[in-house]
Chain A
Amino acid sequence: MPERRGVTRRDFLKGAAAAVAGPYLIAPSALAVSGRPAPSDRIVMGCIGVGGMGTGDMRDFLGNADVQIVAACDIDGRRRQVAKKGLEQHYAAQLAKGTYKGCATYNDFRELLAREDIDAVSIATPDHWHCLLGIAAAEAGKDMYIEKPLSLTIAEGRALSDAVKRYGRVFQHGTQQRSEGNFRFACELALNERIGKLHTIKVGSPASGEAGVEPPMPVPKDFDYDMWLGPAPWAPYTEKRCRTPHWYFISDYTIGFVSGWGVHHVDIAQWGNGTQLTTPIEIEGRGVFPKDGLCDTATAWRVECKYANGVKMIYADNKKERQGVRFEGTKGWVWVKRGEIDAQPKSLLTSVIGPNEVHLYESKNHRRNFLDCVKTRKQTIAPVEVAHRSTTICHLTQIALLTQRKLEWDPGRELFVNDPEANRYISRAMRSPWHL
């Protein structure tokens, strides 16, 4: 058994009084056999939302020896059981034992967050739940990894950012492109003016899809539909409403791929423009929306934004602008997407950022970066205010598409200028009892 230190990492995180293991933690000696850190030095995690994306995040966290996942929460009973089985099989294999019983399941996230033994949560639900869950996690003193996009509305994002700062929580946004070298390098080329003075950024993203008119259906057994709807307006159950990919395209739960996919590249544009704590000040554009059916978010769009630093950003679906982010300067350009980078002049691609130039925060693994920051209490590569600002640009895009007029935005006050009607899109009333 590894030697027990006087003050463990978990003591450090939570304070001695709070570092009492809950009933679901296994005996401290049990898992030390595999060469992993002792349980008291592991980050104890719970996963909220264990569908496709949430399961992917959970698997990635499981791959870290200093993580112990003790709980899975989902409003779908089948998913809860699949997650529990997967976790217990994983830990049983590590212990070289036939069985392991150490994963609790919850339908209601509040029960998971009430557990004092949990240090951090991974949140991967539909978008309309992200901020409510994040705020509840902050209030419960948990650190959090939240899938993108951050919010359903600008007001939600602001409330979450304030709550994370209020309680001093470590936060990571699931914009994992920041942890890929090509994206960081492209941003460093732009920030160091290797392409001359940056004047234009072009961003291309996949667009939303459509579905036909869908009839109401009976709610499946062991699926808590009322909890799935949460703060969203009531609507009858129909399968596509709650399943991937269609919920991604219904405006009661998301603003579509304008944020659901696009925030990845918008976030990179912000990074390379050096504007990650602000947003553009003007936006105008047009979009195409489904003419009927269940889905109602933009299937095509193009907006132009202007930043206070004079840079123009064009944000469009990837039929109008090439997928990825292209920084254009007075002497060249650099374009980047997942797994690919190109530039003009080509020599930029093999150039080295010098010691006296701007070097951006470096992370080689997005979830690992979160875990390291949970331990060190340092800021992550995608902290909450940065996440809020990147997601706000997606919301500004959506509002410009809905209003079809040129909008002026005050990033300081987070209000549209001289357009009270546009300001009505900043927040949405939540279904009771939910509130920010």
Chain B
Amino acid sequence: MNSVSEVTAAEKERPLGPDEALKQIATYNYGQSRKSLIVVTHLVRDSYDDAERRKELRKGFIALLRSDATTDCKRFVCKQLSIIGAAKEAPALANLLTEEKLSHMARFALEQIPGSAADAALRDSLRKAKGKLLIGVINSLGVRRDPGAVGALSELVTGQEEAVSGAAAAALGKIGDAEAAGALAKAGAKASPKLRAIIIDARLRCAERLLADGKKGRAARIYRALSAQAKTDHVRAAARRGLKAARGPNRTRQE
């Protein structure tokens, strides 16, 4: 018969199954051993070609998010869902967007989940999240370039909280469609100097996006306006370079 130490050692090396691994991580806190977390990351990686295993893991992750597992466990779970999360997981993650300690990691997952469910989850939380959490949600909508958010962001950009307005302006710049460009042009007129600087950068980004999408005339109008309004040399030069690009190599006169 094996000695107790041999049996213990053998048990320690036995690979954990998904249920067991997920059970172990439920009590994880920073500053503790990460061994069980590493097992779970391997399960995620190794299930790439195994749809059933993936389904099982996602189900286990959502159960953890809805349980009384530790906050640090839930943060870890969100990170795993950033790799394998799907539309079905979006509502559970959306519930975390208004939680101070979990909002960022919920976005960490949602930003990566393809499809409209994640967009909808983020858009819906625009009405619920406040302060920094709201800014985070706005930032994620910008990263996802969600055109469905332009209306709500256009209202926020002219709101009372300057930090929220700035985030909304930056997000509109990243979305970069014609509607976003229009909202930014309107907002710039009434903005404080600090917000105006953010709006100018957002408009430059918007113009770049329009240019990349072949909308040269629209881009040129933005560049022309910024070239005239710019108060600093580097912004004026940026607008002029953009205008030149929008006109194309053979154009010497204004469109």
Measured CB to CB, the nearest residue on chain B to A436 is: B143
Known: A292-B35, A432-B133. A427 touches B143 (CB 8 A): yes
Q: Does B105 contact A (CB under 8 A)?
A: yes
Indicate which residue in A15, A17, A236, A431 contacts B104 across the interface (CB closer than 8 Å): A431
Q: Which residues of B contact A277 (CB under 8 A)?
A: none
Q: Which residues of B contact A420 (CB under 8 A)?
A: 114
Which candidate, B56-64, B179-187, B231-239, is the interface stretch facing chain A? B231-239
Of the candidates B132, B233, B237, the one whose C-beta lies within 8 Å of that of A432 is B132
Q: CA–CA, A402 to B170, complex, Å?
A: 32
Question: Is there contact, CB below 8 Å, between B35 and A435?
Answer: no
Once the chains bind, are B35 and A216 in contact (CB under 8 Å)? no
| Contact in complex: A421, B84 (CB < 8 Å) | yes
Q: Measured between C-beta atoms, what is the minimum distance from B75 to chain A in Å?
A: 7
Write the nearest CB–CB distance from A151 to chain B, whole angstroms. Answer: 15
B111 touches A427 (CB 8 A): yes
Q: Is A238 an interface residue (CB 8 A)?
A: yes
Q: Which of B33, B48, B133, B170 contacts A292 (CB 8 A)?
A: B33
Task: Flag if B139 contacts A430 (CB, 8 Å).
Answer: yes
Cβ contacts under 8 Å, B204 to chain A: 166
B107 and A162 form a contact (CB under 8 A): no
Q: Are A433 and B135 in contact, with the CB atoms below 8 A?
A: yes
A168 to chain B, nearest CB (A): 5
CA distance A64 to B37 in the complex (A): 50
Instruction: Check B75–A233 contact: CB distance below 8 A.
Output: yes
Which of B30, B132, B167 contacts A216 (CB under 8 A)?
A: B30
Chain B residues with CB below 8 A from A14, complex form: 233
Q: A141-B233, A233-B75, A404-B45 are in contact. Are A166 and B238 (CB under 8 A)?
A: yes
Whether the pair B38, A236 counts as a contact (CB closer than 8 A) is no
Q: Which residues 92-126 of B sit at the A interface, judged by CB distance below 8 A?
A: 101, 103-105, 107-108, 110-112, 114
Give how many B residues have a beta carbon under 8 Å from the other chain's beta carbons: 47
Pick from A17, A166, A214, A425 the residue with the most CB of B within 10 Å: A166
Q: Do A403 and B232 have beta carbons less than 8 Å apart?
A: no
* Cβ contacts under 8 Å, A169 to chain B: 234
CB distance from A51 to the nearest CB of B (A): 24
Residues from chain B with Cβ under 8 Å of A434 in the complex: 139
With both chains docked as a complex, state the minimum distance between the C-beta of B100 and any C-beta of chain A, in angstroms.
10
Asked whether, in the complex, the Cβ of A167 is within 8 Å of the Cβ of B234, the reply is: yes
Q: Which residues of B contact A405 (CB under 8 A)?
A: 48
Query: Which residues, 167 to 191 on A, are CB-close (under 8 Å) to B?
Result: 167-169
Is B30 a contact partner of A429 (Cβ separation < 8 A)? Answer: no
Check A432 against B234 for contact (C-beta < 8 Å): no
Among A234, A403, A429, A436, the residue within 8 A (CB) of B101 is: A234
Q: Is A213 an interface position by the 8 A CB rule? A: yes
Give min CB distance, B208 to chain A, whole Å. Answer: 7
Kindly state whether residue A220 has any CB partner on chain B within 8 Å.
Answer: no
Instruction: For residue A120, give the distance in angstroms from its CB to the closest CB of chain B.
Output: 13
- CB contacts (< 8 Å) of B79 on chain A: these are 233
User: If A166-B208, A213-B33, A435-B170 touch, does A429 touch B238 (CB 8 Å cutoff)?
Assistant: no
- Decide: B107 and A429 in contact? CB cutoff 8 A: yes
Contact with A along B67-96 (1 / 0, CB 8 A): 000000001000100111000000000000
Among residues 140 to 190 in chain B, which have CB atoms less than 8 Å away from a CB atom of chain A?
140, 142-143, 163, 167, 170
Cross-chain contact B31 with A214 (CB below 8 angstroms)? yes
Q: Which residue of A lies closest to B108 (CB)?
A: A429
- Which of B33, B110, B133 has the most chain A CB atoms inside 10 A of its CB? B33
Q: Which of B133, B142, B201 contacts A139 (CB 8 A)?
A: B201
Residues facing B in A77-97 (CB within 8 A) are none
Residue B23 interfacial (CB < 8 Å)? no
Complex interface bits, B129-140 against A, C-beta within 8 A gives 1, otherwise 0: 000110110011
| B35 CB contacts on chain A under 8 angstroms | 291-292
Q: How far is the CA of A292 from the CA of B32 in the complex (A)?
A: 9
Asked if residues B105 and A233 are in contact (CB atoms below 8 Å), the reply is yes
Determine the distance from Cα of A141 to Cα of B200 in the docked complex, in whole angstroms: 13
B110 proximity list for chain A (CB < 8 A): 429
Taking a contact as CB atoms under 8 Å apart, the answer to whether A141 and B45 are in contact is: no
Residues of A within 8 A of B32 (CB): 213
| Beta-carbon contact of A141 and B208 below 8 Å | no
A436 to B170, alpha carbons, bound, how many Å? 9
The answer to whether the Cβ of B66 comes within 8 Å of any Cβ in the partner chain is no
Expressed in whole angstroms, the Cα–Cα distance for A192 and B228 within the complex equals 48
State whether A433 touches B82 (Cβ < 8 A): no
- Smallest CB–CB gap between A228 and chain B, Å? 16
Cα A238 to Cα B32 in complex, Å, equals 12
Instruction: Tell me if B34 counts as interface (CB < 8 A to partner A).
Output: yes
A235 interface hit (Cβ, 8 Å)? yes
B143 — which chain A residues lie within 8 A by C-beta? 427, 429, 435-436
Residue ID in chain B nearest A215 by CB atoms: B31
Contact assessment for B48 and A421 in the assembled complex, using a CB-CB cutoff below 8 Å: yes
Q: Which residues of B contact A (CB under 8 A)?
A: 30-35, 38, 45, 48, 75, 79, 82-84, 101, 103-105, 107-108, 110-112, 114, 132-133, 135-136, 139-140, 142-143, 163, 167, 170, 197, 201, 204-205, 208, 232-235, 237-238, 241
Instruction: Give 15 new A-B contacts, CB below 8 A, not counting A168-B237, A233-B75.
Output: A139-B197, A141-B234, A141-B235, A162-B208, A166-B204, A213-B31, A234-B75, A235-B30, A403-B45, A427-B112, A427-B143, A429-B108, A432-B104, A432-B136, A435-B143
**6 pairs of residues in contact across A and B, judged by CB atoms under 8 Å:** A166-B238, A213-B32, A427-B143, A432-B133, A432-B139, A433-B136
Complex A-B, nearest 6 residue pairs according to Cβ-Cβ distance, in ascending order:
A432-B136, A141-B234, A15-B233, A435-B139, A424-B112, A429-B108
